[in-house]
Structure 1
Amino acid sequence: MTEETHLNPTQPVNQQIYRILRRDIVHCLIPPGTPLSEKEVSLRFDVSRQPVREAFIKLAENGLIQIRPQRGSYVNKISLNQVRSGGFVREAIERAVVRRAAILVTDAQLYQLEQNLNQQRTAIDRHQLNDFFQLDDDFHQILCDIAQCRLAWETIENIKAAMDRVRFMSLDHVTPHEMLLEQHWAIFRALEKHDEQLADETMHQHLAEISASVLLIRQENRDWFTEEQ
């Protein structure tokens, strides 16, 4: 588990604890089966148990943990069903988003995307895996903003927790950074041309990687996966 304990007093405590624990689970710092204690987490962040309990509920809703009354809370294995279902829904949303973004994108927004892609390049060159992972998410969130549909990104975030764990596990060898960055550039070039069809096709190719990588990652880490919901 990471040592981050400092919370921003201007933001809701429960949401910050949720984001930190979500990141720790997604980044494989907390393996499946690990017990999570409300008391220990409250001590870690020096807060009462109420915001911790609320963060746990959100983690459970996203399929990352299981709350067992009178028995405690535990980190779930990665559900193959959740990965497949989440991937199906995410692709449906993001292909619609990128088609709309191809119509609406401005020069200023293209510049914003280009800056993000340059930062991705820097993160790869410096072997900063965590930074690249976040910049990847930022790229997709910017596309939702360009399409003027923030709800699309909020929906994606709520369904992609299981996919994110597979994404992170696959970054170093199954789906290399270089390949993902090139796919991002392909999406960018389609937007630059305001080509809806090309944008749709490049997004489909990009998101299809998770379907291909999940089976390989499962073979390498069978104890981390389950067929259950």
Structure 2
Amino acid sequence: MNIASHSFFKDAEPSTSVALQVERDLREAIISLSLKPGARLSEQEIADQLRVSRQPVREALIALARANLVEVRPKRGTIVVKISARKMMEARFVRESIETAVVRRACESFDPWVRVTIDENLVRQRAACAASDYTAFRKEDERFHIAIAHGAGCGLAWDVIADIKAHVDRVCNLQLRKAESMPRLIAQHEKIVEAIDSCNAESAAAAMHAHLTSILVDLPAIAAGNPDLFE
């Protein structure tokens, strides 16, 4: 179990608590599958790797248990939960409901400065695709969706999505390892932006729907190819 290599400590805000920083590190390790579903977690080992006390680690694990990413078993330890196709589809449904509403709002009014950052984000997505760097691409994909929410003046909507989308993210991480996935997702992102630029709410919502449901097409093959990671 290697958490330290994924540490966000160097990027954390000064006001961020140690427990929250540990939670972010563990969440990223779980999403990236560095911590595989079914892996047992040791409070002491995590504390040693991140050079913190056990208390913030314990708090982080409790938070991750609330998000259903780990299961804390009294006197038996803590494990990373396996991927649940049912929870993943529920989370995707909630995310789609929110994000289609967000892009409709984006078509009414969109921050021009944020719009510039989206062009820069798409450049980085293409670079990650060219380098076959699916980890970098996943992070740029998240920044893309965050930018749309903020550009539409709906930053709080992303805060709601962020806590549930980890169930989708682990499957997305597996999806991105397929060579054709990144070019397809970039094309979908470009279609969403084109609809926002055209102030076409119906097209924007349809493009977001197509984007967020595309993972359902790949899910059966992903689950079949990784049976040890799924419930």
Pair in the same fold by TM > 0.5: yes
Q: Where in structure 1 do 4 or more consecutive aligned residues deviate above 4 Å?
A: none
1:158-197 alignment, distance < 5 Å: 158-173=163-178, 176-197=181-202
Relative to the length of structure 1, the TM-score reads 0.94
Q: Report what 1:216 is aligned to.
A: 221
1:17-32 alignment, distance < 5 Å: 17-32=22-37
Following the alignment from structure 1 to structure 2, what is the Cα–Cα distance between the partners of residues 77 and 169? Answer: 14
Unaligned runs of 5+ in 1: none
Q: Report what 2:152 is aligned to.
A: 147
Cα displacement (A) at 1:123: 1.3
The 8 Å contact of residues 110 and 192 in structure 1, kept in 2 or not, is answered as: no
- Please tell me the root mean square deviation across aligned C-alpha atoms, in Å: 1.5
Following the alignment from structure 2 to structure 1, what is the Cα–Cα distance between the partners of residues 75 and 65? Answer: 16
SS at match of 1:73: strand
Q: Report what 1:12 is aligned to.
A: 17
Cα displacement (A) at 1:157: 0.9
Equivalent residue in structure 1 for 2:58, among 53, 66, 74:
53
The 8 Å contact of residues 3 and 26 in structure 2, kept in 1 or not, is answered as: no
Q: Report what 2:104 is aligned to.
A: 99
Unaligned runs of 5+ in 2: none
Equivalent residue in structure 2 for 1:132, among 128, 137, 140:
137
Following the alignment from structure 1 to structure 2, what is the Cα–Cα distance between the partners of residues 175 and 55? Answer: 36
SS at match of 1:66: strand
Following the alignment from structure 1 to structure 2, what is the Cα–Cα distance between the partners of residues 181 and 125? Answer: 12
Following the alignment from structure 1 to structure 2, what is the Cα–Cα distance between the partners of residues 224 and 128? Answer: 22
Aligned-residue sequence identity (percent) comes to 36
Cα displacement (A) at 1:109: 2.4
SS at match of 1:74: strand
Relative to the length of structure 2, the TM-score reads 0.93
Structure 1 residues 119-169: Cα deviation after superposition (integer angstroms, max 9, x where no partner): 111111122221111000000011111121222111111111111000001
Following the alignment from structure 1 to structure 2, what is the Cα–Cα distance between the partners of residues 84 and 99? Answer: 22
The 8 Å contact of residues 25 and 31 in structure 1, kept in 2 or not, is answered as: yes
Following the alignment from structure 2 to structure 1, what is the Cα–Cα distance between the partners of residues 8 and 194? Answer: 40
The 8 Å contact of residues 62 and 159 in structure 1, kept in 2 or not, is answered as: yes
| 1:66 partnered with 2:71 | yes
SS at match of 1:78: coil
Cα displacement (A) at 1:2: 4.5
Of the structure 1 ranges 70-79 and 166-175, higher mean CA displacement relative to structure 2 is found in 166-175
